[in-house]
Amino acid sequence: MQSTAVIIAAGLGTRMKSALPKAAHKIAGRPMLAHIIAAAAQVFERIVVVIGPDMPALAKLAAPHEVVVQHERLGTAHATRMAESCFGEGPVAVFYADNPLVSAATMRALKARLEAGDAGLVLLGMTPPEPGKYGRLVTEGGYVTRIVEYADADEAERAIGFCNAGGLIARGTDMRDWLAEVGNDNAKGEYYLTDIVAIARGQGINVAALEAPYAECMGVNSRAELAQAEAVFQTRARAAAMADGVGMQAPETVFLAADTVLGEDVLIGPHVVFGPGVVVERGVEIKAFSHLEGCVVRAGAVIGPYARLRPGADVGEDAHVGNFVELKAATLGKGAKANHLTYIGDAEIGAGSNIGAGTITCNYDGKAKHKTIIGEKAFIGSNTALVAPVRVGAGALVGAGSVITKDVPDGALAVARGRQVTKAR
């Protein structure tokens, strides 16, 4: 039977004080909604995202998964009910986009706990270091008897450390029946999903709880909590990278994106930042204060310090990109070097070429971008401006301080600068 994950993402993010929907705020360069979808997609066959009205950005983020709209924000049970037509008879799990760090492993364990057969409803629980105002899970004989909200809890119940983390799973037929019975007789007049615990218990159905790490279950409702979740993600990602053979001199200063791919024996210096879309092959060294985004770095290359690789950069094997060098939509061939103070944009640099300090590919004429092509083993002298579109042939040499506006043939010497004039004083 098909399994379904319902992800509730209708929150406005009022406490974020932002025009963005809450679920669109990013952790490690990836929107919170995308984090929870990525995990759920590894476990569940069908994903349905519940958004609020006028949230086209979230609908786009959810694609290609199904999207339903909660036109009135009447509570979590009401939001879940919006996806009811997507329920099958198989397992239906409910997660929240503002709990973005729940892992696929935890989701898988939640599903397996339901499939064990002794409980018809399984809740996701946690033991936070500071339980605060989380709802407490009251258990007896290994099963949950009720959820007590902090405001309604007595002193003994508030002393319970096991708390409701929000996620849950049940069979689709049960979920549909229980949602139909949830009422809104409460102070806010809302339909709460947690009410299905009492409904299930009233039918003699066991309710179990699966404990997950607090770091996975923490909610994000403010900018401060977003920063805390970022810190949790980064700690987890750094540890995973180092376990896979990546060296970090100062791990706490390195920031990874959710999709960063690092090969074995990569060495990362202090204060390196990875934006989305970076692949680094084995044996690469990335020196301090470098910033990489949307690029590929091939095996054995050396990057930095203070280098910037922008989207579309492709650094070849054993190539060098040095201090204060910026690459954008450019390919640097095997063994090529651009070691100092250089901008290379919309360019192809051949293997073994040397790009001197202060070189600029002048790729934009105010209306369109143009390409610079440099052949293998060419030598570009310092402080050269290459005015694209232009081609410098293999083995060619360009004199320092030149402004190159015409193609340079293979093996030729090009010098394009004013003649020096020296006069007696």
Please state, in angstroms and rounded to a whole number, the distance separating the CA atoms of residues 226 and 246: 27
Is 52 inside any structural domain? yes
Instruction: Give me 211's structure tokens.
Output: 């404990």
Annotated active-site residue in 78, 291, 320, 340: 340
Half-sphere exposure of 221 (CA within 13 A, CB side): 6
> For residue 394, which of 376, 414, 371 has the smallest C-alpha distance?
376
Both 168 and 294 in one domain: the answer is no
Sign of CA dihedral 262, 263, 264, 265: negative
Is 282 inside any structural domain? yes
Question: Cα dihedral angle (161, 165, 166, 169), rounded to 10 degrees?
Answer: -100
Please state, in angstroms and rounded to a whole number, the distance separating the CA atoms of residues 168 and 200: 13
Please state, in angstroms and rounded to a whole number, the distance separating the CA atoms of residues 150 and 168: 19
Strand 91-96 relative to strand 360-362: parallel, antiparallel, unpaired? unpaired
Both 130 and 232 in one domain: the answer is no
CATH code of the domain containing 127 = 3.90.550.10
Q: DSSP letter string over 96-133?
A: ETTSTT--HHHHHHHHHHHHTSS-SEEEEEE--SS-TT
Both 75 and 212 in one domain: the answer is yes
In sequence order, the β-bridge partners of residue 50 are 8, 68
**pLDDT for position 186:** 81
**pLDDT for position 352:** 98
Both 149 and 289 in one domain: the answer is no
Is 204 inside any structural domain? yes
**pLDDT for position 139:** 93
CA distances from 228 to 88, 215, 218, 225, 275 (A): 36, 10, 9, 5, 19
> For residue 81, which of 218, 101, 72 has the smallest C-alpha distance?
72
- Could you identify the residue written with the tokens 């406005």? 12
Domain C-terminal end among 167, 184, 217: 217
Is 410 inside any structural domain? yes
Both 210 and 304 in one domain: the answer is no
Domain C-terminal end among 170, 199, 217: 217
Is 422 inside any structural domain? no
pLDDT digits 0-9 by tens, 324-376: 999 999 999 999 999 999 999 999 999 999 999 999 999 999 999 999 999 99
Both 212 and 247 in one domain: the answer is no
Is 261 inside any structural domain? yes
pTM, 2 dp: 0.91
Both 277 and 381 in one domain: the answer is yes
Phi, psi of 34, rounded to the nearest 5 degrees:
-65, -35
Both 197 and 239 in one domain: the answer is no
* Domain range enclosing 269: 223-414
**pLDDT for position 150:** 84
Which helix H or strand E contains 195, and what residues bound it? Answer: helix 195-202
In sequence order, the β-bridge partners of residue 274 are 292
Which helix H or strand E contains 8, and what residues bound it? Answer: strand 4-8
In sequence order, the β-bridge partners of residue 364 are 369
Both 192 and 323 in one domain: the answer is no
Q: What is the pLDDT along the chain (425 residues), one digit of tens a residue?
A: 899 999 999 988 888 899 899 999 999 999 999 999 999 999 999 999 999 998 999 999 999 999 999 999 999 999 999 999 999 889 999 999 999 999 999 999 999 999 999 999 999 999 999 888 889 999 999 999 999 888 888 889 999 999 999 999 999 999 999 999 999 988 788 899 999 999 999 999 999 999 999 999 999 999 999 999 999 999 999 999 999 999 999 999 999 999 999 999 999 999 999 999 999 999 999 999 999 999 999 999 999 999 999 999 999 999 999 999 999 999 999 999 999 999 999 999 999 999 999 999 999 999 999 999 999 999 999 999 999 999 999 999 999 999 999 999 999 999 999 888 899 98
**pLDDT for position 267:** 98
Domain C-terminal end among 190, 217, 244: 217
pLDDT digits 0-9 by tens, 260-312: 999 999 999 999 999 999 999 999 999 999 999 999 999 999 999 999 999 99
Both 294 and 179 in one domain: the answer is no
> Is 71 marked active-site?
no
Both 67 and 115 in one domain: the answer is yes
Please state, in angstroms and rounded to a whole number, the distance separating the CA atoms of residues 332 and 145: 63
Looking at the 3D structure of the chain, how many domains does it have? Answer: 2
- Could you identify the residue written with the tokens 């390195």? 254
Is 425 inside any structural domain? no
Both 63 and 202 in one domain: the answer is yes
CATH code of the domain containing 408 = 2.160.10.10
Is 80 inside any structural domain? yes
